[in-house]
Amino acid sequence: IHPNLRSIIYCHAVAAGRTEEWEFAWEKSQTTNSTVEKEHLLRALSCTTEVWLLNRYLEYCSDPKKKDLVNVATVLSTVAENVVGFKLAWNFIRQHWEHI
């Protein structure tokens, strides 16, 4: 995949996919040595239309074991950009304000 298209393609793949595609993108984001690739993959994870996957992703922000694995600001902003995730992100911020 051409580097200029990766972000768009990853996002569409996660949006069109199901749990397997989301899990694949998560695993890749945790194993890549490229910070640019990791950023593309972390942004793509918020493209899902599955509410429960968006909630899982948001919960990673407050899980001490996973918090270091994600950029909290990226997760919150990209989930909030998702039509399905806007309210989820806002509710998450209000409920977890002290932990973020």
pLDDT digits (tens, 9 = 90+) for 28-79: 999 999 999 999 999 999 999 999 999 999 998 877 777 666 788 889 999 9
Structural domain includes residue 70: yes
Ramachandran region, residue 82 (left: φ > 0; alpha: ψ -120 to 50; beta: rest): beta
Evaluate if residue 95 carries a pLDDT over 80. Answer: yes
Residue-number span of the structural domain to which 39 is assigned: 6-95
Smallest Cα–Cα separation from 90: which of 56, 53, 58, 47? Answer: 58
Structural domain includes residue 1: no
The pTM of this model reads 0.88
Structural domain includes residue 100: no
The encoded tokens of residue 65 equal: 């074991």
Domain count, the chain: 1
Structural domain includes residue 82: yes
Instruction: Give SS3 for 40.
Output: helix
Evaluate if residue 100 carries a pLDDT over 80. Answer: no
Structural domain includes residue 85: yes
Helix residue spans in the chain (DSSP H): 6-16, 19-31, 35-45, 51-60, 64-67, 72-81, 86-95
